[in-house]
Amino acid sequence: MALKEKEKDNVVAGSIEPSKLRQMYRKLVPAMVEGDHTFGTVSDKIGDVTLKKKTPFHWFIGFTIAFMVAQALLFTTVWLLINGIGIWGNNQPVGWAFDIINFVWWIGIGHAGTLISAILLLLNQKWRTSINRFAEAMTLFAVACAAMFPLLHTGRPWLAAYWLFPYPNVMGIWPQFRSPLIWDVFAVSTYATVSLLFWYVGLIPDLATLRDRAKNRFFKFIYSIVCWGWRGSARHWHRYELAYLILAGISTPLVLSVHSIVSLDFSVSQVPGWHATFFPPYFVAGAIYAGFAMVLILCIPLRHWYNMKDFITHTHLIFMGKVMLATGLIVVYSYVMEAFFGWYSASQNEYFMIKNRIWEGPYWWMYWLLILCNGLSIQLIWFKRFRESEFWLFLISIVVSLGMWLERFVIIVTSLNRDFLPSSWANYAPRFFDYSMFIGTIGFFFTLIYLFVRFVPIISIFEVRTLLPAANVHGRQQDFDESVLEVEYTYDRTDPPNRD
Amino acid sequence: MEKNLYGLLAEFDSATELVDAARAVRDAGYTKTDAFTPFPLHEIDEALGIKRSILPYLCFAGGITGMFSGFALQYFVHVIDYPIIVGGRPHISLPAMIPPAYELTILLTAFTAVFGMLFLNGLPRPYHPVFNVPRFALATREKFFLLIESDDEEFEYDVTRRFMEKLEGQQEVFDVPE
C-alpha cells in the first residue's frame, strides 16, 4: 500500500494537504465503510430497519406484487397435482425442458451467496462483510425455488421420498446410487442445509443485538429465543469464529461440488452437447456469474431504499462487477470450447449438434441471443464509465440473468430436439403452465426477499463493526485505518538518517 | 462479601482498554474471568488466556463419520441388501460412490461445527446472571465488559472491587446478582 514514488516526493516536500493525501490513500485502499460511524450508529442504522422504522410504503407495494406473482406458482402446483406433468410442454424427444432449465438457473444463482460468504472469507476479502447477509439469504431462497422443480417434476411429490432418499421402506427398494440424479439429491439437500446453518450462525449475534434493543416485549421474547441467549462472551466468540471458519472451509468444496454434480446430470449421459468433460468448471463459473448478477440486482435497489450507501459502497458494486466480468469471460471461453470440441471430436453426431445449435436448427436465434447477453454485454464492464455507473451495472445484471437462463435453454433443448434418429425429431415449445410456474417461482423468490428485508438485519451488524477503525487494538495491523497513513506520512517527512 | 453475588462486571469504552485490563486481571491471578464484546476480538483470547477450542477436532471426527457412513450406506444398499447389476458395473462402483459420501462428509462436518459450537458454549441459555445488569444490554451494541466471577479462588469482594475500579479506562463496576 505504499504511495507511488512520485506522490511520495510530493509528501516529502510537504506540498500536499493531509486531506488530499487522504484522498490519495483512499484511492489505494478503498473504504469499506463510508461516513463517520461508531459501533452504536452501525447497530442503529442497520438494526432500525428491522426494529424501529416504519415499514416504508414501497415495501408494501413490492411485497404485494411479489406475493401476487407467487400465486402463479401455487395455482400451477395445484393444477399439476391434479393433472400430472402433462400440463407442461415437454414431450419426446425433449423430455427435459423448463423444469431442469429453471432448476439449474435457480441453483446457479444461489452460488454467489456461498462464494461471497465462504470463499471470500477464506481469501480475507473485507468487502464481503456488508453483502454476505443478503447474498446468503438469496442463496437460501434460490435453492428453495430450485428444489421446487425436481420435486414437482416427479408429478407425485408425496412419493418422491422413496424415489429420492435412501430410507428403509416397506417395499424394500433403494435409490440407484450410481445415478447422477441421486448425487444431485445429496448435493442439493446438503447445500440447502449447510447454507441455512451458515446463514443462521451468522445471524445469532445480530439477533442478540436486536433482542437488547427491542422495546416490544413480544419481539424481545422472540429474539431472545432465536439468538439462543447469545451474550457476546469472549470464550463464545472464540468457538464461534472457529465454527464460522470451519463452515466457510467446508462450504467452499461444497459450493464447487454442487454445480459440478448438477452438470454431471448432463455430462454422465451420452447425448451430444451434454457429454463433455469440461461441464463441471463451465457450470460453476456460469453459476457464479449468474449469482453475482442477482446480487447486484438485489443490492442496487436495497442500498437506495434503505439508505445503506455507507455500507454497500460504490467500491462494493465495482468489485462485484469485476467478479462478474471474470466469471463471464470463463463462460465465454466455455462457449468457444464447446463449439471447438464439436468440430475437433470428428464425431458426426457432435458436429451435427453444434450445427443444429448454432446455425441450422430452429433455435439458432436463441444461441445468438445468448452470446449477445452473456458474451457481449459483459464486455462493457471493461470500461470505467459503465463499471462505475449503477444504472449500467443493474442493466447488465438483468441482461446476464436472462442470458444465463438462455444458456440452459440452449444446452438442454438444442441437444435433445434433434437426436440420433431423424424420425423422432420434434421441436419444443413451452406452454402456459411452463411459464406460469417459472414466473411463479420468481414471485416466490421476491416474496421471501421482501420478508427477509423486513424481519432480519439485511447487513451483518457485528461484522461491519469489525471494519471500523475503533475495532483495532493498538499494535494490530491496521489495514483500513488511516493511522497507517499518518505513520507513512511522518515517516516520509523524517530525514533519512533519523528513520528507524 | 454479598451472599448471592455472581461476580463483578466492569464496563469499558474501547477494545484496547478492555484488552489491557484483561491482561492486568490475568496477571493478578484471576482465572474465572470472561469478557463481553460486541464483535469477535482476537487479542482477548491471549489476554484472558483462553485455550484453543477442541471444536476443529470434533469437526474432523464428524467429517470422517460422514464419509464412512456415506460409503457404508451405499455398500449396504448395493452389495448387501439389494445387489443388482446396472449397466455391467460392479456392485462396488467406487467412483460413483464418491459424490454421496463427499456430500455426507460436508454435511456432518457442518452439523458438528454448528451444534458443537453451541454445545461447547453452553447455548441455548436464555437466562444468565450478567443480564441482570441493565447496562449489559450495550454489550451487543458498543460497550466492552470484563467479568470476574465470585467463584474465583482469588476473589474477595472488597479487594477485587477496588482492583477493578483501578483498572485503566474502566467506566463503572457493577455487582452482578445471581
Please spell the DSSP secondary structure of A371-406, one letter per residue.
Answer: IIIIIIGGGGGGSHHHHT-HHHHHHHHHHHHHHHHH
For residue A187, give the nearest of B110, B101, B92, B63 by alpha carbon.
B101
Residue A29 is predicted with a pLDDT of 62
Q: Which residues pair with B170 in a beta bridge?
A: B12
* Grid coordinates belonging to B2: 454479598
Dist CA A446 CA B88 (whole Å): 47
DSSP SS3 for B7? strand
- The set of residues, in sequence order, having a beta carbon less than 8 Å from that of A61 and lying 6+ positions away, is none
> Which residue matches cell numbers 395455482?
A75
> Which residue matches cell numbers 436472462?
A402
- The set of residues, in sequence order, having a beta carbon less than 8 Å from that of A149 and lying 6+ positions away, is A99, A100, A102, A103, A106, A437, A441
Residue B90 is predicted with a pLDDT of 86
DSSP letter at B49? Answer: T
Nearest to A473 among B16, B78, B123 (CB): B16
Residue A498 phi/psi, 5-degree rounding, is -90, -5
The full length of chain B comes to 178
Shortest Cα–Cα distance, A411 to chain B (Å) = 23
Dist CA A54 CA A70 (whole Å): 25
Chain A, window 27-56: residues with a beta carbon less than 8 angstroms from a chain B beta carbon: 38-40, 43
**Interface probe with B: pick from A233, A464, A467, most Cβ of B within 10 Å:** A233
Q: Which residue of A has its CA nearest to B40?
A: A237
Does B116 contact A243 at a Cβ distance shorter than 8 Å? yes
Q: Which residues pair with B10 in a beta bridge?
A: B146, B173
Residue A494 is predicted with a pLDDT of 43
pLDDT band of B23, cuts 50, 70, 90: confident
Q: Which residue blocks in A29-159 are alpha helix, DSSP H?
A: 39-51, 57-83, 98-114, 120-122, 132-153
The helix-helix angle for A98-114 and A390-416 (nearest 10°) equals 140
Which residues of chain B neighbour A164 with C-beta distances below 8 Å? none
Residue B9 carries which side chain, given as an amino acid letter? L
Any chain B CB within 8 A of the CB of A235?
yes
Q: What is the dihedral of CA A63, A65, A70, A75, to 10 degrees?
A: 140
Residue A497 is predicted with a pLDDT of 45
Dist CA B65 CA A123 (whole Å): 28
Least confident of A19-28, A383-392, B39-48, B162-171: A19-28
The full length of chain A comes to 500
Any chain B CB within 8 A of the CB of A293?
no
CA A293 to chain centre: 8
Residue A395 is predicted with a pLDDT of 93
Residue A91 phi/psi, 5-degree rounding, is -155, 170
What's the order of all strands across the beta sheet hosting B5-12?
Answer: B33-36, B144-149, B5-12, B170-177
**Contact yes or no for A333/A305 (Cβ under 8 A):** no
The H or E element spanning position A353 is: helix A348-355
Q: How far is CA B4 from CA A193, A270, A413, B62, in A?
A: 43, 74, 74, 41
Residue A419 is predicted with a pLDDT of 85
Does A250 contact B110 at a Cβ distance shorter than 8 Å? yes
Q: Which residue of A has its CA nearest to B113?
A: A243
Q: C-alpha angle with apex A132: A130 to A137, nearest 5 degrees?
A: 130
Any chain B CB within 8 A of the CB of A187?
yes
The helix-helix angle for A217-226 and A180-213 (nearest 10°) equals 140
Q: Which residue blocks in A84-131 are alpha helix, DSSP H?
A: 98-114, 120-122
**Interface probe with A: pick from B60, B93, B121, most Cβ of A within 10 Å:** B121
pLDDT band of B22, cuts 50, 70, 90: confident
Q: How far is CA A319 from CA A86, A246, A414, A468, B94, in A?
A: 45, 25, 35, 20, 42
Residue A16 is predicted with a pLDDT of 62
Low-confidence ranges of chain A (pLDDT < 70): 1-31, 35, 474-500
Number of alpha carbons in the 13 Å side-chain half-sphere of residue B166: 9
**Contact yes or no for A371/A338 (Cβ under 8 A):** no
Residue A22 is predicted with a pLDDT of 64
DSSP SS3 for B56? helix
DSSP SS3 for A233? strand
The H or E element spanning position A302 is: helix A279-305
Q: Which residue of A has its CA nearest to B98?
A: A183
CA A58 to chain centre: 24
Residue A74 is predicted with a pLDDT of 94
Determine whether domain A47-166+174-456 maps to CATH 1.10.490.20.
no
Residue A366 is predicted with a pLDDT of 92
Dist CA B92 CA A354 (whole Å): 37
Which residues of chain B neighbour A466 with C-beta distances below 8 Å? 39-40
Burial of A92 (0-12, 13-18, 19+ CB in 10 A): exposed
CB atoms within 10 A of CB A380: 18
DSSP SS3 for B28? coil
* Grid coordinates belonging to B150: 465470585
Residue A325 is predicted with a pLDDT of 93
CA A82 to chain centre: 34
DSSP letter at A115? Answer: I
Residue B68 is predicted with a pLDDT of 94
Number of alpha carbons in the 13 Å side-chain half-sphere of residue A5: 0
Residue B129 is predicted with a pLDDT of 86
**Contact yes or no for A301/A44 (Cβ under 8 A):** no
Number of alpha carbons in the 13 Å side-chain half-sphere of residue A191: 36
pTM: 0.86
Q: ipTM for the complex?
A: 0.91
Dist CA B115 CA B159 (whole Å): 39
